[in-house]
Amino acid sequence: MSWESAADAAQWFFLLYFVGLNLGYLLLNAFSLLALPRELETRLIHVLPRVHSGYEPPVSVIVPAYNEEATIAASVRSMLQLEYPELEVVVVNDGSRDGTLDALRREFALVPYPEAYRRRLEVKPVRGVYRSTLFPNLRVLDKENGRKADATNAGVNAARYPLVCVVDADSILERASLRRVVIPFLTDPHTLASGGTVRIANGCEVRGGFLEAVGLPRNLLALLQVIEYLRAFLFGRLGWEPMNAVPIISGAFGVFRKEALVAAGGFRSDSIGEDMELVMRLHRLNRLAGRPYRVAFLPDPICWTDAPESVKALRSQRTRWQRGLGESLMFNRALLFHRRGGAPGWVMFPFMVAFELLSPLVELSGYLFMTLGFALGFVSPTAFWTFLLLAIGLGMMLSMSALLLEEISFHVYKRPSELAVLAAAALIENFGYRQLITVWRLHGFWQWVTGKGGGWGEMKRSASWQKSL
């Protein structure tokens, strides 16, 4: 093959890849638009008299915590003030090296509590169990460090109720979020997991665990993540829900049927993307066994979380996410094109491989090849500008469509000035920010391929959204 033929083939490959990438996300957007009316109808349940009131199954809220001294008290208070008939909160201190346990003792008057601990899932040793003298439904487990999956499994072992809700220690739930996210368990007995939307808390005002005001972060990195989260949840996950092919229930806010979780082996401690890996495993085990099941996603229940505001913390997070994606797909590769795979095995899994796992490698190669080719003359101006239109122009359209979905459906950001800021962010993120994220994702991909990835790393919490009482 001549150099000219190879260059032409490469141009067509990158152009067609970006066409497929954007077409895939546009289709998810279309599915989201079809699903939104049904989701919005369910919100009437919370305006009219509650049809399911009194029938909600008891829930154990599990809060794994590692070095969360800055946010743990407000987060736990937000769990305790949830509007729900019967719940318990189980905080798992995963060998924190800061004052996380001391903050819990101080805020909630903890005392040692002798309790039988049944180890249905293997976890690191539990050093002690505490109970609050102020809130009878609050318990704290203190254990040796084993990372988030191990801490969550320890909480599952201690959970008393049939549903377990896993919430990050840096997160705040709205009062009605738990009541809303369990609705799929009431309407469909085959539901195994249900997740809600995660939004950025930076810029909001939280006082004593109560979300008092919604706002936008002043930090540019956090602001750009607001747009990312809108894209990821409003059609990145809602679009998969009608196909029963939701690829991930966020570890920041997800509810699971406890027996199904234990039967599947719990969260994998050897996976850095334990939340996605578990959902992929639930798809694989139930699809291949021919059992009816449902993994649900609802855009309305909201969890507010602390986003990284430094380049170092954001790089560590995105690198880790990409490694976790690779692990989740590899551990559950038997689902891919299996005769019983259905939409998860024949649509979602190939999409995640082609347009999530491999995309940083292909996208950066495309940027380099097309730019150098245009500069050196072996890529035509038509091909180059078409490439930029696909890579940047359609990226803007996808971000703006996510913002439009937010505005016509939930209208969380109510001030016109906030919408103007978000619209500007949806445009400027395509010039440098998304490319930088792609570089970090490529680094995570390389770490997964070589097996030389680091640990979780540590993210310093800004906790700027917390206000003193």
The per-residue pLDDT for range 396-446, each reduced to its tens digit, is: 888 888 888 888 777 888 888 999 999 999 999 999 899 999 999 999 999
Integer Cα distance of 414 and 407 in angstroms: 9
Lowest mean pLDDT among 149-158, 362-371, 453-462: 453-462
Integer Cα distance of 167 and 271 in angstroms: 18
> What SS3 class is residue 163?
strand
Residues with Cβ within 8 Å of 309's Cβ and at least 6 positions away in sequence, in order, are 202, 217, 219, 221, 222, 462
The per-residue pLDDT for range 50-61, each reduced to its tens digit, is: 555 567 899 999
Token couple for 59: 């829930």
Ramachandran angles phi, psi of 198, nearest 5°: -105, 130
Integer Cα distance of 215 and 377 in angstroms: 48
Confidence (pLDDT) at 234: 72
The per-residue pLDDT for range 256-313, each reduced to its tens digit, is: 999 999 999 999 998 889 999 999 999 999 999 999 999 999 988 888 888 899 999 9
Ramachandran angles phi, psi of 362, nearest 5°: -70, -40
User: To the nearest whole number, what is the mean pLDDT of the chain?
Assistant: 88
The per-residue pLDDT for range 106-150, each reduced to its tens digit, is: 999 999 988 777 889 999 999 999 999 999 999 999 999 999 999
The per-residue pLDDT for range 189-218, each reduced to its tens digit, is: 999 999 998 889 899 888 767 788 889 999
Q: State percent of the chain over pLDDT 70.
A: 92
Confidence (pLDDT) at 463: 55
The per-residue pLDDT for range 231-269, each reduced to its tens digit, is: 887 777 888 999 999 999 988 899 999 999 999 999 999
Taking residues 372-384, report their average pLDDT.
90
Res 314 pLDDT > 80: yes
E strand or H helix that includes residue 25:
helix 3-42
Are 371 and 360 in contact by the 8 Å Cβ rule? The answer is no
Res 1 pLDDT > 70: no
DSSP 8-state code for residue 70: T
Integer Cα distance of 463 and 450 in angstroms: 35
The predicted model scores a pTM of 0.91
Confidence (pLDDT) at 232: 82
Confidence (pLDDT) at 445: 95
Confidence (pLDDT) at 50: 52
pLDDT band at 41 (very low <50, low <70, confident <90, very high): low
Domain map (residue ranges) of the chain: 1-51+170-469
The owner of tokens 């909630």 is 108
User: Residue 225: how many CB atoms within 10 A of its CB?
Assistant: 26
Confidence (pLDDT) at 287: 97
pLDDT band at 49 (very low <50, low <70, confident <90, very high): very low
Confidence (pLDDT) at 48: 45
Are 90 and 135 in contact by the 8 Å Cβ rule? The answer is no
User: Residue 20: how many CB atoms within 10 A of its CB?
Assistant: 14
Token couple for 350: 């190939």
Integer Cα distance of 179 and 328 in angstroms: 29
Alpha-carbon distances of 338 from 96, 156, 298, 329, rounded to whole Å: 42, 31, 28, 14
- Looking from the CA of 409 toward its CB, the CA atoms found within 13 Å total 25
